[in-house]
Amino acid sequence: MAISHEVYSLFVEPYFRANIARVISPDQIKFIQGLKMVNNMENSISENLYIFEEPELKSVKDAIQDLLDIYAREVMCIEQKLYVTQSWSLTNNPGIGMHGHSHSNSILSGSLYYCELPAPTASMVFTRHVSYQQIDLPPDPNKRNIYNTPINRVIPKQNDVILFSSRLTHMVEPNTSGQQRHSIAFNTFVKGKLGNYRDVSELAL
């Protein structure tokens, strides 16, 4: 005799995706790819870690801010304002990916794929668990679902902006093409008032 049952989500982990092709010009692509790069463990990172402050990238910064406003208003449903803190360019040479990591001192992080991505496109891989798992009980690979999957892959497209919680551990698969893979990453924080004056928890940011 079958037992009637139902399964529900307690919490859902979102990621946000939008395309901003309309604001990225060939001159801006050339400017970004002309930035001085330095070694960053496996890949290369721009020496300048506040590239959205460059006047040449104002339209890109403004478009990112518009997306952050949407996310704060429609996804987080908060009164405070999200804004970009640090922003940097990344280059993955052939055979190079990015190790698993998360972003400190940030609320929401993002990636911008501002130019053509080489094929096959390396995915961003997000990990469910943020700490050591003493008991490893992986699901049947053919029966993964939103409740049990330990990882999720996101395949970016040119001019995509992908926003996600900074606490999520994520990595980039190795670049198996014969060309460089370019992107921009950024962190965010909030402006506004947190807490409550009478509860002595008020904080003005």
Residue whose token pair is 């004056």: 197
> What structural domains and CATH numbers belong to the chain?
15-130+148-192 (2.60.120.620)
d(CA 26, CA 143): 44
List average pLDDT for each run of 10 residues in the chain, which is 205 residues long. Answer: 91 96 98 97 96 99 99 98 99 96 98 98 92 84 93 98 98 98 99 96 96
How far from 118 is each of 94, 132, 161, 185, CA to CA, in Å? 10, 34, 17, 18
Helix extents (H) in 101-199: none
d(CA 16, CA 49): 23
- The answer to whether 177 and 94 have CB atoms below 8 angstroms apart is yes
| Residue 25 confidence (pLDDT) | 98
| Residue 51 confidence (pLDDT) | 99
| Residue 132 confidence (pLDDT) | 74
| Residue 194 confidence (pLDDT) | 96
| Residue 184 confidence (pLDDT) | 99
d(CA 176, CA 181): 10
